[in-house]
A and B are shown apart, each in its own frame.
Chain A
Amino acid sequence: MTTPRLPARRRFRRTTAIVAGGLGAVLALAGCTPEPSPDTDVEWELTATTDAPSGDIDSYTWVSYAEPFSLDYAYAFDYSDNQVLANVCESLLRLNPDYTLSPGLAESYEHPTPTTWVYTIRDGVTFHDGTPLTAADVVASMSRHLDPAVGSSWYSVYQNVVSIEQTGDREVTVTEAIPDSQFNLAMGGSAGVVESAATLEAAGADYGNSSGGVNCTGPFSLEEWKSGESITLARYDDYWDDSLRAKSGEVEFLFMNDATARVNALKSGEVDGGWMIPFDAIGQLEASGVGDVYFGLSTAVSSLIVSNLDGPLGDLRVRQALLMALDRQGIVDAAAKGYGDVTNALTTESVWVGASDAALDSAFEGLEEYPYDLEEAKRLVEEAGATGEEITFATAPIGSDFNIIAQATAAAAESIGLKATIETVTPNAYTALFSDPSAREGIDLFYTVWYLSSPDPLEMYSVLRTGEFSNYGEWSDPEFDQVVNEAIAIDDPAARSEKTAEAQRIANEQLPWLPLFAGPMPVFMGERITGVSPSIAFLYYPWAATIGAR
């Protein structure tokens, strides 16, 4: 049997082509939409608290840019995991919206010797399945961070820990090899979360994923996890802390990767609120009248990580030159739409809790400013003999700010005589830069918004010591190492802060990373809800419990 050919096809093709072309033209014309002119002067101020709710609400929805890959506290290292986990699981200490620490599941703690921490566990607390919280649960939960089979992302917090033992009916003692002030400060975050030992045992390798779930002590319990779609939390009526009893019966987290879809969902009222609103949408949302945008405390600093000190950026003069060739205020205006301030330090003042005034002065006043000066920058590059050398900047289409910063950096590099290449990877592959050394091969610079999880700037500077995992460029400055290690051993926050200030000054002079700007944490609440305290502490503080009816 042969394949016949239809002779009449030719006439069809002509008409077909015309119809196709016509459709195309119609659609193309449909695409002509006038564009609103952008706002250049923005005003914003920090809000510590919003209006208290008038009463309880049955449920509300919240949007997140990504689904948590796991709710296991040992792996909860990013915004998407922690913003959910903070409402379900609790830690020994509680990190407040103002970044101070209060007692949490540990009703008190002591520091009898420089190397021991003794926690008294609160009585009368129950897990979501009704079983009581005991000291044994604390030991089991904390010990996981030391277990190589678990591979906890928070291992660095426990790096000096020698033993974790139950030393009394409601007492746990942690012993360290050397004096380490940072350990206790991290107990307000994911590193200090307590889970039921029985649940850990029963769930095994499935703990924290959508089959195993979690069984914690927080104001909400994990009710449903629709993989890829949403997570629903339900109020836990036997929560121990009445002051943070959930004001909503339920919270549903919806995952939307696409930024514009998120903004649209907020504008249309399909979703009641969200953290980390894209800066270019803030104007739209404020104008829409369907809710309010608030700006809260943030501990994040936007900076460029120098990941290759063997290349041209190995010379301090080149790093200085690049920083001076960047119009950082222009970048703030373009990338963050003006919601931010140029900074020359890798930490924000908000984390210097308990610091002395002298320390704050030393840490922030009189820092090298690196003003925008192309001539000087060019001169420095020439002096360093780096003219014509090449640098590679890695970026990802995560948001328009990433694009803008990549382009601006490349343009700045070219303007001072360097050759710049932008290498674009996908958002998920970009995350690999932060964990896989082989992913960083051939990359000289990449952008980060690095936030701190404890009220101490040393959390930032301990990362930059020689040999640390996140010291991506393998920067090594013995004087810096010594200052930081000395500071870590100091218990008194005020005294410690003065040493830390020295570290900050060294970092500001040596530029292992290039600080760009620091901005606030935006949050949107629709007209149905109110009550949240805008702050980056949403990562660890049970913020969802404070939201109720407007």
Chain B
Amino acid sequence: MALADPAGRTAARSGGAWVGTATLRRVGGKLGALALTLFLASLLVFFSRFLVPGDPVSFLLRGRKPSPEAVAQVTEQYGLDLPPWQQYLNWIAGVLHGDFGRSLQYRQDVSTVIGERLPVTLGLVLMAGLMIAIVGIAAGIVAALNRGRVLDRAVLIGLTVLGAIPSFVGAIVLIAIFAVQLGWFPSFGSGEGGLDTAYHLVLPSIALAIVFVVLVGKVTRSSMVDQLDREHVEVATSRGLKRATVVRRHVFRNAIGPILTVSGLLVAGLLVASSIVEAAFGLAGVGSLLVQSVDRLDFPVVQAIVLLVVAAFVVVNAIVDLLEPWIDPRSAAGAGAR
């Protein structure tokens, strides 16, 4: 039996061309589904406002001086005198140009308000993502390679305990121990920029990463275990290849598929969970802006952030979905192929 050669197999199936018509049709179909989901999601986000009973003006101006000028301004901004479908079109046209309206609390363009806070959140999510990837995958590999033995069980227990800790609990425990008791890290704010910011973001990233490390760790482990049981690995080992090489080239490379798929799900989870961590650590990011805007009844900002998060989630998932056959050709060739 030949060694696993995923690229070759796909090529053989689709008649030789690397990117054939079958692939294009697939990609087109996925993109179509993506667009449809995004469209439906945007409808949901926009029309959610209509679920609230009563006058839309008083809803949008809750907690603010309902002066005639404010009413006129809001009516104009939202096109409240237009029929609903037209209001939606205006809104979505604006959104596609990057115009999300004006923030009621900051008297500024929503895109500016969000844009100013994006770096902190992206930095946080990036650091957390790295931690999740490194620790999760490493733990999964260690567990898989030692499966059944003490190390495996230790890793699994560690992962399960971590997974039961919600991020806000993790955050305050980290603050209590590492910031207050030991004083190793700052407990508040995001620092001056660059290295100082990275230093300030260490504890928050850990808090954010905790829950998700479990997911990645477990998937890595089971995926690797699944691979380790396969014939091609046995064959490779019996051919005298070093264990490390076998693991690297045959086990891990084929195991990576499910890991990447899971990562797609992580994105939305990280973005949303960041609001909790940002609140706990006093970080001025998009997550804390969301909570603050709900609190201050600044609906345009809430609407914009929800749409952006959903869009990010859907797009990342679609990308992972699209890339799947190249990552894990067996799924393209049909499930169950051994």
Q: Give the residue of A1, A27, A209, A226 whose beta carbon is less than 8 angstroms from that of B173.
A: A27
Q: When the two chains form their complex, are residues B107 and A72 in contact, meaning their CB atoms are under 8 A apart?
A: yes
Q: When the two chains form their complex, are residues B107 and A426 in contact, meaning their CB atoms are under 8 A apart?
A: no
Q: When the two chains form their complex, are residues B153 and A151 in contact, meaning their CB atoms are under 8 A apart?
A: no
Q: When the two chains form their complex, are residues A258 and B70 in contact, meaning their CB atoms are under 8 A apart?
A: no
Interface segment, A126-134, A378-386, A430-438, A474-482?
A430-438
Interface segment, A8-16, A456-464, A488-496, A532-540?
A8-16
Q: A12-B156, A151-B70 are in contact. Are A229 and B107 (CB under 8 A)?
A: no
Hey, which chain A residues are within 8 Å of B176, CB to CB?
27, 30-31
Hey, which chain B residues are within 8 Å of A19, CB to CB?
157, 161
Is residue B188 within 8 Å, beta carbon to beta carbon, of the partner chain? yes
CB-contacts of A252-288 with B (<8 A): 254, 256-258, 261, 264-265
- Complex interface bits, B135-162 against A, C-beta within 8 A gives 1, otherwise 0: 0000000000000100001001100110
Q: When the two chains form their complex, are residues B289 and A228 in contact, meaning their CB atoms are under 8 A apart?
A: yes
Is residue B181 within 8 Å, beta carbon to beta carbon, of the partner chain? yes
Q: When the two chains form their complex, are residues B107 and A75 in contact, meaning their CB atoms are under 8 A apart?
A: yes
Q: When the two chains form their complex, are residues B67 and A151 in contact, meaning their CB atoms are under 8 A apart?
A: yes
Q: When the two chains form their complex, are residues A210 and B108 in contact, meaning their CB atoms are under 8 A apart?
A: yes
CB-contacts of A424-446 with B (<8 A): 426, 428-429, 431-432, 435-439
CA distance A210 to B284 in the complex (A): 14
Question: What's the tally of chain A residues with a CB closer than 8 Å to chain B?
Answer: 48
Task: For the complex formed, measure the closest distance between the CB of A429 and the CB atoms of chain B, giving whole angstroms.
Answer: 7
CA distance A23 to B165 in the complex (A): 11
CB-contacts of A192-215 with B (<8 A): 205-206, 208-211
Is residue A83 within 8 Å, beta carbon to beta carbon, of the partner chain? no
CA distance A258 to B189 in the complex (A): 11
Q: A149-B69, A426-B295 are in contact. Are A211 and B63 (CB under 8 A)?
A: no
Q: Give the residue of A206, A208, A428 whose beta carbon is less than 8 angstroms from that of B295.
A: A428
Q: A1-B335, A261-B188 are in contact. Are A210 and B116 (CB under 8 A)?
A: yes
Q: Give the residue of B63, B73, B117, B181 whose beta carbon is less than 8 angstroms from that of A429.
A: B63
- Complex interface bits, B177-192 against A, C-beta within 8 A gives 1, otherwise 0: 1000100000111100
Hey, which chain A residues are within 8 Å of B188, CB to CB?
256, 258, 261, 265
Task: For the complex formed, measure the closest distance between the CB of A124 and the CB atoms of chain B, giving whole angstroms.
Answer: 33
Is residue B333 within 8 Å, beta carbon to beta carbon, of the partner chain? no
Closest to A427 in B: B295
Hey, which chain B residues are within 8 Å of A205, CB to CB?
102, 107
Q: A205-B107, A227-B284, A256-B188 are in contact. Are A432 and B63 (CB under 8 A)?
A: yes
CB-contacts of B85-119 with A (<8 A): 102, 105-109, 112-113, 116-117
CA distance A428 to B148 in the complex (A): 54
Hey, which chain B residues are within 8 Å of A431, CB to CB?
63
Task: For the complex formed, measure the closest distance between the CB of B269 and the CB atoms of chain A, giving whole angstroms.
Answer: 21
Q: How many A-B residue pairs have CB under 8 A?
A: 114
Q: When the two chains form their complex, are residues B63 and A30 in contact, meaning their CB atoms are under 8 A apart?
A: no
CA distance A395 to B282 in the complex (A): 23
Hey, which chain A residues are within 8 Å of B64, CB to CB?
432, 435-436
CA distance A23 to B161 in the complex (A): 10
Hey, which chain A residues are within 8 Å of B117, CB to CB?
227-228
Q: Give the residue of A148, A208, A264, A438 whose beta carbon is less than 8 angstroms from that of B107.
A: A208
Q: When the two chains form their complex, are residues B108 and A211 in contact, meaning their CB atoms are under 8 A apart?
A: yes
Hey, which chain A residues are within 8 Å of B102, CB to CB?
205
Hey, which chain B residues are within 8 Å of A228, CB to CB?
116-117, 120, 284-285, 288-289
Q: When the two chains form their complex, are residues B113 and A428 in contact, meaning their CB atoms are under 8 A apart?
A: no
Q: When the two chains form their complex, are residues A20 and B161 in contact, meaning their CB atoms are under 8 A apart?
A: yes
Q: Give the residue of B65, B69, B157 whose beta carbon is less than 8 angstroms from that of A16.
A: B157
Hey, which chain B residues are within 8 Å of A227, CB to CB?
113, 116-117, 284
Is residue B58 within 8 Å, beta carbon to beta carbon, of the partner chain? yes
Q: Give the residue of A12, A208, A256, A438 whose beta carbon is less than 8 angstroms from that of B62.
A: A438
Is residue B296 within 8 Å, beta carbon to beta carbon, of the partner chain? yes
Hey, which chain B residues are within 8 Å of A75, CB to CB?
107
CA distance A151 to B282 in the complex (A): 32
CA distance A264 to B176 in the complex (A): 14
Hey, which chain B residues are within 8 Å of A173, CB to CB?
none
Name 10 A/B residue pairs within 8 A (Cβ), A-sorted. Answer: A8-B153, A27-B173, A70-B106, A148-B69, A226-B284, A228-B288, A264-B187, A428-B63, A432-B63, A439-B62
Q: Top 7 closest A-B pairs, CB basis? A: A228-B284, A432-B63, A227-B116, A209-B108, A148-B69, A428-B296, A428-B295
